[in-house]
Structure 1
Amino acid sequence: MVVFVKSTIHYFNRRELFRRTWLSFSYVNGLMIRPVFVVGSISSSTRNAKLIDEETWRYGDILQFNGPDNYRNIALKSLAGMSWASDNLPDNVFYSSADDDVMVDLVAMTAALKYLVARVERVGWPEFPIACMYKEWSGAKPERHNNSKYYISNEEYKWAKWPKFCLGGMYTTSVRVARQLWDLSRRYEPLRMDDVWITGVLREKLGMPTDMVLEPSGHVATHWKGYRGQTSRDIRGFMWKEWKELKDKLVNVTLCSYDAK
């Protein structure tokens, strides 16, 4: 699986948190996981431009596309990741899109994928479905109030309801499906809401039926706001239990040895 995380250039700390928590695990239950952080472009003379160059050199996991680095054009970040995946990854790799403000239970994620692979074989679907690792949404209506950041005009989308879609926190499909969605997207003007646009509108235009948009039964991804009111909200306590368990495993463990003789 390659996880394409939509980020903003100046969110250096968020990306580092991801690298040190759930995306620090590169192999879970037989699944190899690799992150790609997708950001836009800024003036090369700014301090952040120099910092993103250094981050790219250090980690090699930054995909910077020639487009605006703002929320209004977030769909372009998703499409940039899909374009790169289409050109560089084989069909049988899992493609995931994620926001840079979610935490993911990788064990639950791999269990969901294992179940869906078996279901594809059992039901006989011609493609892998779209798994809403964060949450699926049905019956939602476009926001028509022009003072909302989610505003969609009737000219952009005239129908009264959105098709069923995955909320953008995280969703997963195959690279083969992502490639078909990417190819189809070049025929239409993108909507600013990338999750509705890709997993709802484009998916429907592709002919993928509603029952192939699925939310796993087990909890997989949590938005950071889901930690509010918990002891982990404080940064000193965030992921404290997980860090302690990892530390306990490493204490007094011999990582290497040297024979002076």
Structure 2
Amino acid sequence: MSNNIDVSVVIISWKMRDLLERCLKTIYYFTKDLTFEIIVVDNNSQDGTSEMIEKNFPDIKLIKNPENRGVAPARNQGIKETNGKYILILDADMELIENSIKKLFDFMEKTTECGLVGCKLVDQNHQLQYSCKRFPTLLAFIFRRLEWIDAVRKSSTLTQHTMQDWDHNEIKEVDYLIGACQFFRRDVIDKIGLYDDNIFYGPEDIDFCLRVWKAGWKVYYYPFTQIIHHEQRITKKNLFSKISLKHFAGIFYLYRKYNFRIKI
């Protein structure tokens, strides 16, 4: 590991060339007062993603997969190439609007009990996204796929899971943060290992945060910087796509892994 890199940013991409390019440009534009590197894993996008990076961002470490390896395996590929003191997992559809990485870095430097932190996420209209959540019941997982039904969206099961009963304007210990933005210490990887390769797409973020908690660190939500998340919601657009089925498989795998008791 190189001692002069503060943060390693790991991004995986699948068929999001234009969003990824915007993400990368905003990282370079807004990130100041720390050293960083970027690792991009292209999951066989076949949309010009790799060519765009090679042409416009030659300093980025690029991993080109011959197939879509999924989220957890691809993130692990990227993490293995990192040299930073901290690792930041970002989705390709993120857009920085301020020096968010430095703010997360500063928070971690002074909060030694924190193993993982994420910032406030908003949509393109700057409306809050519920990115920190309570560990879900199986019913909550099902309801998340049915949010288009008004009664489901307003149900206590879903509102409690997504923490809609809280204003998201203070630093708070939370069960988990979605994988779109997870900033963690390298020590975490050294102690608990990588993301679970058995989860192709889905609850790898829940599993990772749960293991952070079980290892003795805390998971924090930090609202004093925000990033725009152009959320793609691919499993909710088509419930019966191949990706959606793999997502559901990941959910059931997670429950079996913890004997149907997902809690600290």
TM-score normalised by structure 2 residue count:
0.57
Matched with 2:126 is: none
1:118 and 1:168 mapped to 2: Cα distance?
23
Write the deviation string for residues 72-120 of structure 1: whole angstroms up to 9, x where unpaired. x2222222222222xxx15xx2210011122234434423432331232
Distance 1:171 1:33 in 2: 16
For these two proteins, the number of residue pairs brought into alignment is 186
Q: 1:31 to 1:169 in 2, by over 3 A?
A: same
- 80, 87, 103: which is aligned to 2:95? 103
Residue of 113, 119, 128 corresponding to 1:133: 119
Deviations 1:108-152 (A, max 9, x none): 4423432331232xxxx4xx5201124321242346649959xxx
**1:37, 1:63 within 8 Å by CA — same for their partners in 2?**
yes
Structure 2 residue ranges without an equivalent (≥5): 1-6, 121-130, 147-160, 162-173, 232-264
User: Residue 12 of structure 2 corresponds to which residue in structure 1?
Assistant: 6
User: How far, CA to CA, are the matches of 2:143 and 2:100 in structure 1?
Assistant: 39
CA contact (8 A) 1:112 1:218 kept: no
Note if 1:39 corresponds to 2:31: no
Q: Deviations over 1:37-80 (max 9, x none)?
A: 222247xxxxx38x45533532232532547427xx22222222
List per-residue Cα deviations over 1:160-210 (Å, max 9, x = no partner). Answer: x9x921112211012232343435x57x7336322212223x3245x134x
* Cα distance in 1, alignment partners of residues 101 and 54 from structure 2: 30
1:241 equivalent in structure 2: none
Which has the larger strand fraction? 2
Q: Is the contact made by 1:6 and 1:99 (CA closer than 8 Å) also made in structure 2?
A: yes
Shift in Å, 1:35: 2.4
Q: After TM superposition, which residue ranges in structure 1, 4 or more long, deviate above 6 angstroms?
A: none
Task: Answer yes or no: is the 8 Å Cα contact 2:12–2:43 preserved in 1.
Answer: no
SS of residue paired to 1:140: coil
1:203 equivalent in structure 2: 212
Change (3 A) 1:27 1:139: closer
What is the root-mean-square deviation in Å for CA atoms of aligned residues?
3.5
Structure 1 unmatched runs, 5+ = 43-47, 150-160, 226-261
Question: Residues of 2 paired with 1:198 and 1:119: CA distance?
Answer: 19
Task: Note the 1:105-184 alignment, pairs <5 A.
Answer: 105-120=97-112, 125=113, 129-134=115-120, 135-142=131-138, 145=142, 148=145, 164-182=175-193
Q: Give the counterpart of 1:23 among 16, 21, 27.
A: 27
Instruction: Name the TM-score, length of structure 1 as normaliser.
Output: 0.58
Q: Does the 8 Å contact 1:82/1:182 carry over to 2? A: no
Q: For 2:175 and 2:200, locate their aligned partners in 1 and report how far apart those are by CA, in whole Å.
A: 15
Change beyond 3 A, Cα 1:147–1:204: closer
Contact 2:16–2:93 (CA under 8 A) maintained in structure 1: no
State whether residues 169 and 221 of structure 1, in contact with CA within 8 Å, keep that contact through their aligned partners in structure 2. no
Residues 167, 27 of structure 1: alpha-carbon distance in 2 compared, 3 angstrom cutoff? closer
Identity level (%): 10
Question: Given the superposition, is the C-alpha separation of residues 195 and 67 from structure 1 closer, same or farther in structure 2, using an over 3 Å criterion?
Answer: farther
